[in-house]
Amino acid sequence: MEDLTQIILGHPFFAGLDPEYGRIVCGCARNVRFEAGDYLFRAHAPANELYLLRHGRVALEVTAPERGTLTFQTLGAGEIVGLSWLIPPYRFSYDARALELVRAIAMDAACLRAKCEADHDLGYEMMKRFTPVLLRRLQATRLQILDVYGPHG
C-alpha cells in the first residue's frame, strides 16, 4: 500500500498533494494493466473508475455511422482518463481504448466521491486538480471545433 501511495503522489495529477491525503485516496486505488486494443471503458458504461496513466497511450473514441471509429483525443503517461467519475449521472460518454500496453492506477469512483464528501478539504483539493484539466480539455475542444487549420483558419 505504501508503494502505491508513493506512486500516486508521484503522478503529475497529484503533484504536491499532502501525503496524508495521498494515503486516504490510496484506499480507493489499484494497479491496472491493459494490452493494446483493450478498452479501459466503453461509452454509456457507469463511470466506476478514474485512471491515472503511468505508461502507454489511450485513445478516446466515438463511433459514427458510415464514418467508423473516430479518435478525438489521445492521452499518455502523466494524464488522467475518465473525468465522468465526478459528474452525475456518472456515465462515460465515449470509448477509451489502449493503443499500446497501458499501465495505470485505477481509482474507485464511488470510494473517491465518498471520501471527498466526508472530507470537504480533500474534496476541494480534488476539485482544484480536476478543474484545470476540465478547462484545458474544454479549450482544446473549442480549438478543434474552430477548425483553425482549415482554409479559413
Partner 1 sequence: MADDPMLPRVARVRRRRRDGPQVWTLETEPEGGSLAAFAAGQFNMLTAFGVGEVPISVSGDPAEPGRLLHTIRAVGPVSTALTRLEAGAALGIRGPFGAGWPMSEAAGRDVVIVAGGLGLAPLRPALYRLLAERPRYGRIVLLYGTRGPEEILFRREIESWRRRLDIDIEVTVDHATAAWHGHVGVVTTLLARAGFDPHQALALVCGPEIMMRFAAAALGEAGVADEAIWLAVERNMKCGIGHCGHCQLGPVLVCRDGPVFRYDRLRTLLPVKEM
Catalog residues that contact partner 1 under the rule CB under 8 A.
57, 59-61, 67-76, 78, 99, 139-140, 143-144, 146-153
As measured in angstroms, the least distance from the Cβ of 96 to partner 1 is 13
Cα angle for residues 126, 57, 147 (degrees, 5° grid): 85
Q: Closer CB to partner 1, residue 121 or residue 147?
A: 147
Amino acid at 15: A
Supply the minimum distance, in Å, between the C-beta of residue 74 and partner 1: 5
What SS3 class is residue 39?
strand
Considering beta carbons, is residue 9 or 75 the nearer one to partner 1?
75
| Distance between CA atoms of residues 9 and 125, nearest Å | 13
In the complex, least distance from residue 99 CB atom to partner 1, rounded to whole angstroms? 6
- Asked whether 26 and 8 are in contact (CB, 8 A), the reply is yes
Instruction: Say whether the peptide bond before residue 89 is cis (omega within 30 degrees of 0).
Output: yes
Select 118 or 140, whichever has its Cβ closest to partner 1: 140
